[in-house]
Amino acid sequence: MPRRYGPYGGAYVPETLVPALVELERTWRSARGDPAFRAELARLASTLGGRPTPLYFARNLTRRAGGAEIWLKREDLVHGGAHKFNNALGQGLLARRMGKRRLIAETGAGQHGVATAMIGAALGLQTEVYMGVVDMERQAPNVERMRLLGATVHPVESGLGTLKDAINAALRDWIATVRTTHYLLGSAVGPHPFPSIVAEFQSVIGREIRWQSRRAFGRLPDLAVACVGGGSNAIGTFHPLIRSSVELLGVEAGGPSAASRGAASLVRGRPGILHGALSYVLQDADGQIADTESVSAGLDYAGVGPEHAWLRDSGRARYVAVRDADALRAFRWLAQDEGILPALEPSHALWAAVRAARRRPKDQRIVVTLSGRGDKDLEVVARAAR
C-alpha cells in the first residue's frame, strides 16, 4: 500500500492522530487478506448494495454523438443512489473489526453522510455527521434522510459553512475521540492510508467494468471517463485499468464561467497540502485555500486525491474541466435519450464522453461511470432552466 504516489500523498497530521492511522493501516492489511472479511464485504455489497451494477449500452446517446459507442457503468443503481455506499460499507466493516462503536463523517452534498448513516444503521454503529450550515440549507432532504436513518447531524458554522469546514470539524472530533471512533472519510483524499483504502473499496467499479466489457463487446474499452471531486469514483474506475492500454479521462467541475476556477484542482490548481496530504489544491498566492464554485455540490472541493495528482503528472490519465452549463446540457440529453436522470456530478463526465465520442470512429467504445442518480439535483436543474 503506497504512502506516496510519486511525491504526492503522505500524512501531514497532528501527532495525536498517528496511532489511529497506524491502527487503520494494520487492520486494513489483515482484513484484505482475510477470506471471512472479503466474504462479508462481498455478501453485503451484493445483498444490501445491489452489486454488481449493470454496464448499459446508451444506444440513443451514442446516436446523438454520432461516433464511438457510449456505455454507462450504472453506479446510480447502488443502494442510496451513488457509489459512496461502496466505501462506506468497506470502512464500516473495518471500524467493526477495530472494535470501534462510533462512526463520524463529513459531508458536503449529504450523499456521503447518507451512505454512512445507512451503514451505521446496518452494522449497529453510532453515527454522527458534520455538515456545513450552508450545505445543510442547500441539501435539506439529505439532512432529513440522515436523521431518519438514526444519525446525528452536527451543523458546522466556521469558515464558509461548507465541505472543507465540515472535514476540519470531523478531524477535530477524531483527535479527541480516536480510541472509540472511526473517521469514515468519504473520498480518496486525506492522510495515508485513507486514499489507498478508499481506492481499493471503490475499485469494485473498475473490476466489474473489466469483466462486463469483455462479456459485452469482447475486450476492454478504448476510453474510460469519470468525474472527479475528491476523486473516489474516478480512481475506482481507473485503478483496475491502469496496467491496460485503456485511455483514462477525469472530468472536474469548471464552474459557471470561463473566468471561474470552478473546483478544478488538477486543471487549475497547484501542489499544496490540504487535509493531511500533498496534492493539487486550488489556492491563492499565499497558499490559502481558494473558494470553489460548481453547480454540483459533490464536485465542489478545492483538493483532490493524491493518486490523481500523480496520474496527471505522469500522463497516465488526462483531466479536463467541464462547465456548469455543459453538465446541465448532458443531464437533459441522458434524461431524454435514455430515460435516466443522472446526478449533476457525472453529468460533467457525460458531456466530456459525448464530445470524445464525436471525434472517434464507431468501432471504439467509451465507458462512463455514472456515479449517482439525479433525484437530489432536481431542484438545481429546475432553477437553472428558469
Ligand X SMILES: *Cc1c(COP(=O)(O)O)cnc(C)c1O
Interface with ligand X (CB under 6 A): 82, 84, 111, 187, 227-234, 298-299, 343, 345-346, 371-372
196 φ, ψ (degrees, to nearest 5)? -80, -30
| Residue 371 falls in the annotated catalytic set | yes
Q: Report which secondary-structure segment, H or E, holds 249.
A: strand 247-255
Helix (H, G, I), strand (E, B) or coil at 322: strand
Distance in Å, CB of 232 to ligand X, minimum: 3
Indicate the residue among 67 and 206 with the shorter CB distance to ligand X.
Answer: 206
Residue written as grid cell 466493516: 93
Distance in Å, CB of 272 to ligand X, minimum: 18
Cβ 226 vs Cβ 243: under 8 Å: no
Q: Report which secondary-structure segment, H or E, holds 330.
A: helix 324-338
Q: In b/e form, how buried is each residue of 47-62, taking b as 16+ CB within 10 angstroms?
A: ebbebbbebbbbeebb
Rounded CA-CA distance 42/39 in Å is 5
Rounded CA-CA distance 110/196 in Å is 23
Distance in Å, CB of 118 to ligand X, minimum: 13
Cα 77 from chain centre: 15
Burial class (CB in 10 A: 0-12, 13-18, 19+), 258: exposed
Query: All 3 cell numbers of residue 22?
Result: 497506524
Indicate the residue among 96 and 112 with the shorter CB distance to ligand X.
Answer: 112
Indicate the residue among 106 and 128 with the shorter CB distance to ligand X.
Answer: 106
Indicate the residue among 216 and 225 with the shorter CB distance to ligand X.
Answer: 225
Distance in Å, CB of 150 to ligand X, minimum: 21
H helical segments located in 243-303 = 265-268
Distance in Å, CB of 297 to ligand X, minimum: 8
25, 75, 106, 208: the catalytic one is: 106
Distance in Å, CB of 286 to ligand X, minimum: 27
Q: Beta 69-74 vs 55-57: how paired, if at all?
A: antiparallel
Indicate the residue among 216 and 237 with the shorter CB distance to ligand X.
Answer: 237
25, 69, 75, 84: the catalytic one is: 84
> Which residues sit opposite 259 in a β-bridge?
none
The amino acid occupying position 33 is G
Indicate the residue among 223 and 227 with the shorter CB distance to ligand X.
Answer: 227
279, 294, 296, 371: the catalytic one is: 371
| Residue 84 falls in the annotated catalytic set | yes
Taking alpha carbons only, the member of 202, 205, 139, 73 closest to residue 375 is: 139
The amino acid occupying position 139 is Q
Distance in Å, CB of 69 to ligand X, minimum: 23
Indicate the residue among 143 and 227 with the shorter CB distance to ligand X.
Answer: 227
- CB contact set of 278 (below 8 Å; sequence gap of 6+): 7, 8, 9, 10, 12, 271, 272, 306, 309
Cα 355 from chain centre: 22
Rounded CA-CA distance 332/198 in Å is 31
- What residues act catalytically? 84, 106, 371
